[in-house]
Amino acid sequence: MRVLRKINSGEGSDVFESSPRREGIDLKHWKGRLNTIDMTMSGHSYGATLALQVLKGGPSEKLPFKGAIILDPGKSSGPLNEDVRVPLLILHSNSWSKTHSIFYGRPHFEVVRDIVQNTLKRGHDAWFMTSLGTSHPSVTDAPLIEPLLLSWTTWSTIDVREGVYQSVKVSDEFMRYQSTGKKTGLLEMPVTHPRYDDDRRSDKLKNTMPEEYRKYWQIHVAPEQAF
């Protein structure tokens, strides 16, 4: 935050000069171009665990994050912060939801689900969903670089570009929601699976959830909690 604020205030040259890797020569041109007031925190895996920890005690002037996008919060990277007081979107890869893992005495899936449900109870919109056919690296650039290798080693079944696109699309919808307050696309959908692969609404879903969503997602927690 300190570095971003320096760049935005016109001190990009100082940031460049202090870089041991001599990177950022163009940062001097970024004065006034960063929104350091309404920010979205995001992270993947270990970074997702860290992102949740950063939200603790916020939002505030020191932590000006007005929302968070959390991707596959870590199963072996320490406890997950439950004190979230901003709109929250947690996306699980299929492999992350499918694999039953005990996390500090409880199933990891239930721990994540409860974090999102508690965020809702505090009065903030929150979503928890699984991206079908994906594996843990699907939101990274690794499958784009080595699609066959990553599909073979991780058992991912989704087209690698489609997997990235689906995550980017719902993340974009979430960030637009933060700006406008309007839920669009996947964010408009109600809960479809309170637990992973619990398809008790299958008949009703055929009439209420468009194929473009049903093919790629299971929604476990949403502001529209009807089930």
**pLDDT (tens digit per residue) in 23-43:** 999 999 999 999 888 889 999
CATH (one of 3.40.630.40, 2.40.30.170, 3.40.640.10, 3.40.50.1820) for 37-221: 3.40.50.1820
Look at residue 2 and tell me whether its pLDDT is greater than 50. Answer: yes
pTM: 0.91
Give the CA distances from residue 87 to residues 65, 126, 146, in Å, rounded to whole numbers and listed in that order: 10, 5, 34
Distance of CA 219 to the CA centre of its chain: 13
Look at residue 63 and tell me whether its pLDDT is greater than 60. Answer: yes
Q: What is the pLDDT of residue 200?
A: 60
Distance of CA 179 to the CA centre of its chain: 17
The residue ranges of every structural domain in the chain are 1-36, 37-221
Which residue is listed with tokens 């992973």?
A: 196
Instruction: Tell me how far apart the alpha carbons of residues 100 and 187 are, in angstroms, rounded to a whole number.
Output: 26
What number is the average pLDDT over the span 62-77?
93
Which residue is listed with tokens 């570009």?
A: 161
Write out pLDDT tens, residues 168-214: 999 999 999 999 999 999 999 999 899 998 766 555 555 577 888 99
CA nearest neighbour of 160 among 186, 187, 131, 185: 131
Q: What is the pLDDT of residue 189?
A: 93
Count how many residues are written for the chain.
227
